[in-house]
Amino acid sequence: MRHHPGGHPPYDGTGLFTIGELARSTGLTVRTIRYWSDEGVLDPVARSAGGYRLYDAASVARLELIRTLRELGLGLAQVREVLSGERTVAEVAAAHVAALDAQIRSLRVTRAVLSTVARRGSTAAEMTLMNKLARLSAAERRRIVDEFVEETFRGLDTADPAIRERMRHTGVSLPDDPTPDQVDAWVELAELLQDPDFRAAMRRNIEINAADRGPDTPAGASLWFFRRLVDLVGAARARGAAPEGPEADAVLTELLGEGADHAAVLRRIDLGTQVARYRELAAAVAGHEEPPRHQEEFAWVVTALRARAGS
C-alpha cells in the first residue's frame, strides 16, 4: 500500500487522497485546497462513490508547487500558465520581479507619505494633497517645474540664462525610492512652485537680476554678487567690524558701489531670503547636501543697510 506523504494512509486503500487528507498532510486548509480545485489549478483525478474529489501523489506535488508560487505572490492566472506549460517558472518569476519592483516603489512612497503626515500632524485634506503630489510621475513633476519657470521668465529676455537653466532642473529628480525627508521636501516644493505669491516673488527677484545685466554681463553674474557678499562680509566679521560702525561703509561701497540705494538693496536681499527655502528644498529632493545659507553674513549686511537706510 502507498502511504500519504504526511504519514496518513491513502483514501480507502486506493492510493488516492481526499481533500481532508491533503489538508492534514500539507497544513493547508480544506477551504484553500477546494478553492484551488474549483479554480482549475488542482483538478481531481477521480471521484469517490459518494462524490468526493480524490487526488493522487502527482496531485500532492502539484499542490506543493501551487503553494510555493502563491507564497511568492503569483496570481492564479500565472500559476495556471506554469502548470499548463504555457510559461516556464523562470519566465513567470522574471515578470513577477518587475511587478514586485513597482509595488516596492509604491510602498516606499506610501511609507514616506505616512511618515510625513505623522510628523506634520497633517489633516485629511493635506494628506490627500500630499499623497497626490508624492505620486506624480517624472513627466508630471517636469510639467509643474516647466510651468513655474515659464511664468517666472516670461518676457524677461535679459534674464541670466544660467539661473533659468538651473531652475529647469530643480525638483524633477525625486528618486523611485524616496526617503520620507525627500517626499516631504518635494511636497513642500511643489506647493511652493504653484503658490502665486512665491511665483511673484521669484519673478521680481529675476527682474532685479535682469535689470543689473548689461549686454556684456556674463552668465552667472548674479551668483557672483552673492559670493562676493559672503567673501567681503566674512572678512569684515573676521576683523570684528560691526555692521553699525564706520568700517561697514567701506564694505558696502566695495560690494554695492558708490551711491547705492540701500532701501532697494534691502528689498533685493529680502526677496533672496524668500527663495532660500526654494534652494534648500531643491537640494533635499535631489538628495544633495543642503547649500550653505550664510545667514550670519546676510544678517550683517541687512543690519548695516537698515542702519544707513534709517529703518
Residues 6 or more apart from 207 whose CB is under 8 A from it? 156
Question: Structural domain boundaries of the chain?
Answer: 19-86, 136-309
Q: What is the DSSP letter of 55?
A: B
Q: Between residues 271 and 62, which one has the greater pLDDT?
A: 62
Give 228's contacts (C-beta < 8 A, 6+ positions apart).
255
The pLDDT tens digits of the residues spanning 281-311 come to 888 888 877 656 677 887 888 888 888 776 4
Averaged pLDDT for residues 72-79 = 88
For 19-86, give the CATH class. mainly alpha
Please report the pLDDT score of residue 37 as a whole number.
Answer: 92
In our burial notation (b when 16+ CB lie closer than 10 A, e otherwise), range 87-97 reads beeeebeeebe
Distance CA 234, CA 231 (A): 5
Does this model's pTM top 0.85? My answer is no
235-245 confidence digits (pLDDT tens)? 999 999 999 99
Report the share of the chain in percent with pLDDT over 90: 15
- Min mean pLDDT across 78-82, 127-131, 161-165 is at 161-165
Name the more confident of 209 and 87.
87
